[in-house]
A and B are shown apart, each in its own frame.
Chain A
């Protein structure tokens, strides 16, 4: 079976969907952050596949920036998680009740 663009896009859509489900259903904040990363990297896969398909470099550059943004986001996210941990002593999203929602 030849693997073509559609397969990559499908894989990326599935990964993105798994990420969305994880964010919506998981309780542990670290896992939620990991799921967000999964979503971003699923998009990266799409970009790479499309860029390869179109023989275009523009979208390959996107991936560099997205990786970089994701790293910065994780760094800040972990830093904030540590402050939440110190304040609350938990990583469970249901325990965050200081705000009314």
Chain B
């Protein structure tokens, strides 16, 4: 490890130190006051995001070829830090409302961000696995953080059992790929595939198992059944974090493993993946239609968005991966924002995240209503928002590769999705508010919402800059 390595992993180091400091800060406050831990986490993640963005990201390897230091890892390290930061800012309001005063929460959040960073930068299947498990184990605890709530602990248990189950599949796939190809290193795997003609049954089975494992992790149909329950049971802050950060981390891993290392074997998995993409979009959307809880609706719709992203992986070109990266960044902003507004409004009343809880709140709080509309329009994919261009780039990359039927299914699904997203907007503006409408709006909280909605519009107005950056960054 030399100084270049040190600078390259600086964001990761900062996040680890943040996690340790947060837990020490919690101990120092005798576990009574989580605000110290929160402050440390917010500060640390902000610094990590800044360092990740400004650090030079030429296409090099770190730690003797264990980590990629390319543009993709820089962008996504920053994205994970920002997602963690937004979650840490959203959290106090939610946690105080639910009477949770445990500072460990913030330390675990930082550990999750660390795991995601390792997942996105890993150049080795083992390191990817370790990053994935670092993230997952911290998430298991975070999902079951509301110990007095049956849904939360059961969601955590379900996530743990199915997460470990799918990890075992992933790992078995890695073992068989190692047996068939002789390496766990992405670059070496790609090289070995270039030099060989055809692969043996062991490798094929390994790829199949790896695909099943990844499908679990990105909650692709038919391996999605864990995610609505987990998303519903988890504290809403963690639902927001999981549906953006954890999903993006799994997708970056998918792009690096299937899109780059195993791309030469694409004939073996493209069909399976495109069927999965079509099912994921359709099932996610149609089940989302029937939900009465906005939280559950967003959970199912995040399955549908995973389907759109899978279309990008199926296309399998650098353009498609750049488009998927663009989509992931836009999606993180809009979904975090949507959950943020939802939580802010659900401080009052029953706090059950039903559509009724949103009634008329747009007329009482026009700014909040406007921001929610931006997030919803972007989730539908209406120009000029980041969501529109994300879908546009992903679908056009897929058309170039001749996957027209997938794109048609995607477009039809977007039309279906417009119904339930617009229902949120119409409930906020068209109905009369009921009961007590007073909510507290902390400054930092509103600032995060405002910045993300502005960024969505700015990306929507000037998409070229981001997409060129993504094209340069793509592995």
Contact = CB atoms under 8 A, between A and B. Distances in A.
Interface string A28-47: 01001100100110110011
Given A16-B172, A36-B168, A65-B126, A80 B137 contact: no
Contacts of A61: 126
Contact of B184 (A58, A80, A101): A58
Contacts of A47: 175, 178
Contacts, number: 116
Interface in A5-53: 9, 16, 19, 23, 29, 32-33, 36, 39-40, 42-43, 46-47, 50
Given A36-B164, A72-B137, A80 B157 contact: yes
Interface in A49-72: 50, 54, 56, 58-59, 61-62, 65-66, 69, 72
A69 B127 CA distance: 12
A3 interface: no
Interface of B is mostly: helix
Interface of A is mostly: helix
B115 to A, nearest CB: 11
B55 to A, nearest CB: 27
A54 to B, nearest CB: 6
Contact of B150 (A72, A73, A79, A87): A87
A1 interface: no
Given A9-B179, A23-B165, A99 B160 contact: no
Given A19-B168, A36-B164, A76 B154 contact: no
Interface string B136-180: 010011001001101101111110110011011001101110110
A81 B168 contact: no
Interface stretch (B225-233, B369-377, B456-464): B225-233
Contacts of A46: 172, 175-176, 179
Contacts of B402: none
Contacts of B155: 99
Given A76-B137, A80-B140, A96 B168 contact: no
Contacts of B222: none
Interface in A70-97: 72-73, 76-77, 79-81, 83-84, 87-88, 96
Interface of B: 126, 129-130, 133, 137, 140-141, 144, 147-148, 150-151, 153-158, 160-161, 164-165, 167-168, 171-172, 174-176, 178-179, 182-184, 225, 228-229, 232-233
Contact of B157 (A19, A43, A84): A84
A66 B229 CA distance: 27
**Residue in B137, B160, B167 whose Cβ sees the most chain A Cβ within 10 Å:** B160
**Residue in A29, A62, A101 whose Cβ sees the most chain B Cβ within 10 Å:** A62
A65 B118 CA distance: 15
Contacts of B126: 58, 61-62, 65
Contact of B161 (A32, A58, A66, A69): A32
B161 A100 contact: no
Nearest to A16: B172
A36 B171 CA distance: 12
Contacts of B225: 101
Contacts of A88: 150
7 contacts: A23-B165, A43-B168, A50-B178, A66-B171, A87-B147, A96-B157, A100-B229
Nearest to B138: A76
Given A43-B171, A47-B175, A81 B157 contact: yes
Nearest to B168: A39
A76 B140 contact: yes
A36 B161 contact: yes
A50 B154 contact: no
